[in-house]
Chain A
Amino acid sequence: QKEVEQNSGPLSVPEGAIASLNCTYSDRGSQSFFWYRQYSGKSPELIMFIYSNGDKEDGRFTAQLNKASQYVSLLIRDSQPSDSATYLCAVKASGTASKLTFGTGTRLQVTL
């Protein structure tokens, strides 16, 4: 079983819609959860991170964490063509100071 799982996609949503990206993880003791965006041919960049159960909002982005279900999601409201990218979920495991384990990413396509 992969430690961090994501649907590879592509997830296709029309411009202006809400894109919902999902991630599950296997280590129940995981402490911190991150969403990175990676444009084709570029390096990953952090969108947001979340530590506590519930929602965390930053502009058009909302991260949702449910530790009981070992599930973290990213919602993108009012999706724009510029949001088309691969979204990487990363998890910091218990007992580690800084090590991140990444999922394989979900490719998002926002269509006009």
Chain B
Amino acid sequence: EAQVTQNPRYLITVTGKKLTVTCSQNMNHEYMSWYRQDPGLGLRQIYYSMNVEVTDKGDVPEGYKVSRKEKRNFPLILESPSPNQTSLYFCATREAGRGTDTQYFGPGTRLTVL
């Protein structure tokens, strides 16, 4: 089954404690990205990756890091989380070409930073 998985699905942590949210896909898509979703602000892109070892900032990259060492994985790293990073996070992949242009979203990770 084609899917995007994220772990953990729920996380409560404290300010300053480094954390990583993993994202993995089995669809062999080159493009992957991370979004955060906040009430009234919608989905905002944090970082994206066009391929292995190719990453770039989205609209709200401050406080986040990413890496793309292999095609299937795209972890999101919060080196020193702060309460304003409390949000719902989605990882997504993109399939484009031959009449299709679709982003597939993972199930989401709800993060609370105290």
Interface size class of chain B, counting residues whose CB lies under 8 Å from the partner chain: 20 to 34
Instruction: Please judge, given known A-B contacts A98-B94, A100-B103, whether A88 and B48 are in contact too, CB under 8 Å.
Output: no
Question: Which residues of chain B from 75 to 114 have any CB-CB distance to chain A below 8 Å in the complex?
Answer: 90, 94, 96, 101-103, 105-108
**Chain B contact residues, CB within 8 Å of chain A:** 31, 33, 35, 40-45, 48, 50, 58-59, 90, 94, 96, 101-103, 105-108
With a CB–CB cut-off of 8 A, which chain B residues contact A90? 43
Chain B interface secondary structure, helix, strand, loop or mixed?
Answer: strand
Mask: chain A, 22-59; 1 = CB below 8 Å from B; 0 = not: 00000000001010100000111110010000000000
Q: Residues of A within 8 Å of B, CB-based: how many?
A: 21
CA distance A100 to B48 in the complex (A): 11
- Shortest C-beta distance, B104 to chain A (Å), equals 8
A98: contacting residue among B31, B42, B43, B108, CB under 8 A: B31
A100 adjacent to B45 (CB under 8 Å): yes
